[in-house]
Structure 1
Amino acid sequence: MQITNQTGDTHEVPTQNGSSKQYLLPFILITSLFFLWGMAHNLDSILIPHLKKACQLNNSQSTLIDTAVFFAYFVMAIPAGMLIKRFGYKNSIITGLLVFATGAFLFVPAANSRTYEMFLFALFIIGCGLTILETSANPYAAILGPPESASKRLNLAASFNGLAAMVAPIVGSLFILSGKNYSETELAAMPDATRAAYLLEEASAVKLPYIILGSVLVLVAILFFFMKLPSMKPTHTEAEIKPGFFSVLKFSHLSWAVVAQFFYVGAQVCITSFFIRIAQQGAGLDEKTAGYYLGIYGFLFMAGRFIGTFFLKYVKDYVLLSIYCAISMILCLIAIYGSGIIVIYALGGIGFFMSIMFPTIFSLGLVGLKSNTETGSSWLVMSIVGGAIIPYGMGTLIDMKHDDIQSGYIIPLICFGIILYFGIFGRRVKTV
């Protein structure tokens, strides 16, 4: 059997009694990956305020957690694309899972030594594993069925990434956040041994969740090893001209998708990374309560994915993207200038309307690339480096504003403006 994906590529797929049900189990397995890397990303939102406390960091230093993870996307995107071409989707997925698990297990020595650099190294390794998984799973989910439903499939799979956005903060609040917060004056007044024991206890709280996560990843890798997946191998015609890695950016809609994805990931990471801090500062919540509100934010993000997937049956993907961007910009203004619990409501609303942006930008960027789908996918994954750069800029701005968290949310406001331009103009496909 042959299928043609949304990019125009033809792929050979083994049939099972001629039924399209052959895609169901592979799609379920691929969807589980969206949940797992969602757990990793959304635990970072807990780690940032937690390690800021445990390792005694300022705001910009704490965002290096995001930098370590998302810089790995930039470094590993091209090797990940080469890995897929050489060994296929299945072997690449297994490799990504095992690398991801290795990074999770490295949290144990990092916590034992309370060494921030070791935590950053572990997070970088996790990021490398996530890069391989996302480079494999996103295009695989897109081509695993009829081309006209590629955006809906990606949004459905990504909905379980949204489920992780709800589950991870709750798990992190229960097992990582202690609820103990001491001022610099109180810490300085403690005996050295008491202060050291407190900080080590805080750092050690991350060990159990990451040991469990790493073990689950190994089990899933074993499951993929023994599971037979449809082989999606492109059968391009010799007449097709295949631009090089940089030449593919002549597709202007892909170039704009890369820019939009850069700013989208930056905006998402900014909002979640400082969510607990703004909940404490702007709404007066304690650390654990703020963590639970982050779980509610995750629920709204997940709901947005499912509801957005439903709307995509009736509304063009770029139209829905543009509407959601405009609403997110309004909610950013409320988060900046509002006070009290309304700030949390505004951030929750942003989570809802931001939910469909990543998979929608991804699928719009791959339209019409044909034999360049893998290269385009690598560029879109590389653009995730926005999550390494933009939050650091936001943290620096907040430090400059004397720890005024709300003022920093002007950064995601600007990001959504750029994505809005992509949804209206940049996504248009032009002949190369």
Structure 2
Amino acid sequence: MNNSNHIPNYRGPLAVLTVLFFMWGLITSLNDILVPHLKAVFTLSYVQASLIQFCFFTAYFIVSFPAGRLVESLGYKKGIILGLCTAAVGCLLFYPAAGAHSYTFFLLALFILAGGITILQVAANPYVTILGKPETAASRLTLTQAFNSLGTTVGPLIGAVTILALVEHSTDASSVQMPYLILAGMLLVIAIIIGLIKLPQIKGGNEEVQTNSAAPHQEAKSIWQHKHLLLGVVGIFMYVGAEVSVGTYLISLMESPEVAGLTSSAAGQYLALYWGGAMVGRFVGGVIMAKVKPSHVLAFNSIANVILIGLAIAMSGKFAMWALLCVGLFNSIMFPTIFSLALDGLGKFTSKGSGLLCMGIVGGALLPLIQAIFADSIGLLTSFFVPMIGYLYILFYGLKGYRVQPLNTH
């Protein structure tokens, strides 16, 4: 039929989208470099330094739902271009922020940068799930997100040699200027390329989105009737919060004498293993989930991370460092799996559902802040019980919460 004629054309758009996933992964992981760097530059406490992640991920909460409506009216392509341009503006603002030596200015630049990435997330994630068969949506999104993890792996390596290496010799914030200027240029180039190429014209409110669930199809009158979506929003909140919390404080943990006693630049390079594990896990997970139920893989990985964090807290020393680095491997499939399971069966509400799910990314703002409060009071290593709670909720979602419930039409 007509649909089969379009399937071969999806390879090109998916290839373009992998570049986007790579870029926002790289940019997001650079926050893990900014936290210890600006903590040293401005002499901040853990709570004050956590405002970097707080401002960045709060943008998701504020921008996501309006972005869903925007993508619904503009379409995915224009939404992606708008997101790229907004993110580029945020990167450019790092230059005057460093020149003014203002922490507040840095936080503003991060908020704008994150606003652009939010629009990208809202547009690109559901676009990937739509470009192909519904039953392989989780596998497809996981493989595409693997390139996001490639970006998060490269980011700490770049940041370690261009930003953190200077911390040991200087308290100058200017080391961030050139890397973020280059990022701004790359984002604008990608926006121009996407503007020039042809992408399938699928509007944000596409009513032809199919369902992979076995539940009988009923037309929902409101997006709030989809319980599995709402539980998925909490799942995204917990996952992103847990992932960001671990990534944010790993460098400081590896620097502490009772754990590994590493230098800032060495710890930054080890952090690449955390994100690299997520990359490897997504490539492997994308293949596994083409044959194994995504919910089963999600539950298994959640249990693994609960065990790893529990052992890290109990054992301390270098064992704790390696156990927490391994958490990245099992993080791998969580975001795309929760995202695709939560979008299952939403039909015309797909873009709005994507906006709601991206609002859950605010967990990356709140959980690191909560962990910072405990880190300042009971110690950094013990404070890792906060992300452990997040993984326990994801276990529930993988076992039960993901199931599409019959709609209550009354």
CA-based RMSD: 1.7
Matched, 1:373 2:350: yes
* Residues 236-290 of structure 1: CA deviation (Å, up to 9, x unaligned): 49x985534xxx2322111111111111110001000001001111221111110
CA contact (8 A) 1:162 1:298 kept: yes
- Mapped to 2, the partners of 1:388 and 1:149 lie a distance apart of 31
Q: 1:88 aligns with which of 55, 75, 84?
A: 75
- Mapped to 1, the partners of 2:207 and 2:23 lie a distance apart of 33
* Residues 140-180 of structure 1: CA deviation (Å, up to 9, x unaligned): 00001111111111001100011012100000001001264
CA contact (8 A) 1:81 1:375 kept: yes
Q: 3-state SS of the aligned residue for 1:82?
A: helix
* Residues 121-156 of structure 1: CA deviation (Å, up to 9, x unaligned): 000001100110000000000001111111111001
The equivalent of 1:20 in structure 2 is 7
The structure-2 alpha-carbon separation of the partners of 1:231 and 1:396, relative to structure 1 and needing over 3 Å to count, comes to same
Q: 2:47 aligns with which of 49, 60, 69?
A: 60
The equivalent of 2:213 in structure 1 is none
Matched, 1:275 2:250: yes
**Counterpart amino acid of 1:273?**
T
The equivalent of 1:191 in structure 2 is none
Q: How big is the shift at 1:2?
A: 5.8
Higher mean alpha-carbon deviation, 94-103 vs 19-28, is at 19-28
Instruction: Tell me which structure has the larger Cα radius of gyration.
Output: 1
The structure-2 alpha-carbon separation of the partners of 1:385 and 1:21, relative to structure 1 and needing over 3 Å to count, comes to same
The structure-2 alpha-carbon separation of the partners of 1:179 and 1:212, relative to structure 1 and needing over 3 Å to count, comes to closer
Matched, 1:223 2:201: no
Give the unaligned 5+ runs of structure 2. 209-216
- Mapped to 1, the partners of 2:394 and 2:276 lie a distance apart of 23
Matched, 1:347 2:334: no
CA contact (8 A) 1:337 1:406 kept: no
Q: 3-state SS of the aligned residue for 1:243?
A: coil
Q: 3-state SS of the aligned residue for 1:56?
A: coil
Q: How big is the shift at 1:47?
A: 0.4
**Counterpart amino acid of 1:365?**
A
The equivalent of 2:279 in structure 1 is 302
**1:22-421 → structure 2 map (5 Å cutoff):** 22-178=9-165, 180-181=167-168, 198-199=170-171, 201=172, 203-233=173-203, 236=207, 241-244=219-222, 248-281=223-256, 282-401=259-378, 404-421=379-396
- Mapped to 1, the partners of 2:112 and 2:401 lie a distance apart of 33
Q: How big is the shift at 1:87?
A: 1.1
CA contact (8 A) 2:316 2:381 kept: no
Q: How big is the shift at 1:338?
A: 2.1
The equivalent of 2:212 in structure 1 is none
- Mapped to 1, the partners of 2:62 and 2:56 lie a distance apart of 10
- Mapped to 2, the partners of 1:340 and 1:236 lie a distance apart of 54
* Residues 67-104 of structure 1: CA deviation (Å, up to 9, x unaligned): 11111111111221111111111111000000000000
Q: How big is the shift at 1:299?
A: 1.5
- Mapped to 1, the partners of 2:167 and 2:116 lie a distance apart of 33
**Counterpart amino acid of 1:291?**
G
Aligned length in residues: 396
Higher mean alpha-carbon deviation, 80-89 vs 207-216, is at 80-89
Scaled by the length of structure 1, the TM-score of the pair is: 0.89
Q: How big is the shift at 1:384?
A: 0.6
Q: How much identity, in percent, do the aligned residues show?
A: 40
- Mapped to 2, the partners of 1:118 and 1:326 lie a distance apart of 40
Scaled by the length of structure 2, the TM-score of the pair is: 0.93
CA contact (8 A) 2:166 2:175 kept: no
CA contact (8 A) 2:27 2:152 kept: no
